[in-house]
Structure 1
Amino acid sequence: MNPHEDGAKRAVPATVVKVLTHRREERGMRLEEFTSRCVRAGEVHELVTTDQTGSPPGARIDRVGFLGFAEIQGAGVVDRGDEVWIGDRLVGTVLGFDACHFPNHYNVLIGVEHVVTGPDLALDPEARVSFRQSPLPGVSPATHYSRRALSV
């Protein structure tokens, strides 16, 4: 994410529709080169954690934990670097996307310190998920928005 190219955006809300319980050590996902994906209300995407957080676009992602599938509640843009919240808990940040199941769904790869699954986070169906823009380093969200408003 380039802070000089990205403007403010709204959070993308979602709801867990199925909890997944497994992890893999040699999954073979590929980190897409795209830094963002537009999502529509009603789409369902898979949430996958990985500790391979330094991986560049095109890299093979093997160590993964499956959280579940989430239905997007409101259209928006999910960017690499967005924070992923489940309820009031910050789970990790969007590392990128794997399109091996597209157009059925994307795997949203979430960078975490330790690979976790749905049960590890005590996920339940109907849990609220939110993809939120990370604040710019050293700038509070309120300052970021007021600077934006002044430059219009």
Structure 2
Amino acid sequence: MNPAEDGAKRPVDGSLVKILTHRRDDRGMRLEEFAGRCVRRGEIHELVTTDQHDTTPGAVVDRVGFLGFVEVGTGGVLDRGDEVRIDGRPVGTVLGFDACHFPNHYNVLIAVDTTTTGPELGLRPGMEVRFGSGS
């Protein structure tokens, strides 16, 4: 992302459709080279926490906690550094994207201090998810 080219944008909203309960220390996700991705209303993407914060394209992300799947309600652009809130509570910031399951879905990697799972955050289907700067 080039700050000189980065302008204002609206938040991307969605809602949780499935909660995930597991974590891994050997996942082997690879960070995409792109700092932003467009998402369309109705798409479903996976939310994954990680305490590994390397943004180098191709960086391997092994330590992950799975939150769940979100259905996009308001399309837009997800960018590295966007704040992620669920049910109004801050969860972390977008680190980047892993496309191992694309075009089915992206893994949206969320930078956190400690990996966490859906149940550990008390997540339930239907909770609102919001991505954006200062969302």
Correspondence 1:93 to 2:93: yes
**Per residue, is there more strand in 1 or in 2?**
2
Structure of higher RCO (CA pairs closer than 8 Å, 6+ residues apart): 2
AA in 1 matched with 2:65:
G
1:66-85 to 2 correspondences below 5 Å = 66-85=66-85
Query: TM-score, with normalisation over the residues of structure 2?
Result: 0.96
Q: Which runs of 5+ in 2 are unaligned?
A: none
Gaps of 5+ in 1: 136-152
Separation in structure 2 between the aligned mates of residue 3 and residue 28 of structure 1, nearest angstrom: 29
AA aligned opposite 2:48: V
Please identify runs of 4+ aligned residues in structure 1 that moved more than 2 A.
none
C-alpha offsets along residues 36-85 of structure 1, whole Å, 9 cap, x if unaligned?
Answer: 10000000000000000134221000000000000000110000110000
Structure richer in helix, relative to its length: 1
- Superimposed CA distance per residue, residues 91-119 of structure 1 (whole angstroms, 9 cap, x where no aligned partner): 00000000000000000000000000001
CA distance in 1, matches of 2:57, 2:128: 28
What one-letter code is carried by the residue in structure 1 that aligns with 2:78? Answer: V
Q: Indicate the SS of the match to 1:4.
A: helix
Number of aligned positions between the proteins: 135
With normalisation by structure 1, the TM-score equals 0.86
What is the rounded CA distance, in whole Å, between the counterparts of 1:125 and 1:79 in structure 2? Answer: 24
Partner of 2:49: 49
Q: Are 2:125 and 1:125 equivalent residues in the alignment?
A: yes
